[in-house]
């Protein structure tokens, strides 16, 4: 996936909604994910999905350090910014 192909926030919202068994429209991107019942296993799964989708390495605590979809998407967009493709040629750590 390239950063330009799809909005990072939209992708994250859809992933979070899938794990929480909700519609993406039901996810308020400014609400802490813990308020939706996100647990540590789900947070790690989302982190793994980020690594797989964008072919980057991120810290396991990324989801906890950025507890809303808005904050998480901003951090991920910052990581991916400036790369012609989200995959890039090197791995980075957030």
* pLDDT score recorded for residue 31: 97
Residue 90, pLDDT score: 36
pLDDT given for residue 79 in this prediction: 87
Residues of the chain with pLDDT under 50: 1-5, 82-94
Cα dihedral 24, 80, 34, 23, rounded to 10, equals 10
Position 75 scores a pLDDT of: 92
pLDDT at 83: 44
Model pLDDT, residue 81: 80
């Amino acid at each position: 996936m390239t950063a330009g192909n799809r909005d990072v926030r939209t992708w994250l919202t859809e992933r979070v909604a899938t794990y929480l068994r909700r519609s993406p429209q039901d996810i308020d991107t400014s609400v802490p994910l813990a308020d939706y019942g996100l647990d540590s296993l789900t947070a790690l799964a989302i982190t793994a999905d980020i690594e797989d989708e964008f072919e980057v390495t991120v810290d396991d605590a990324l989801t906890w350090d950025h507890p809303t979809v808005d904050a998480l998407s901003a951090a991920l967009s910052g990581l991916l910014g400036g790369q012609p493709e989200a995959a890039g040629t090197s791995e980075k750590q957030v």
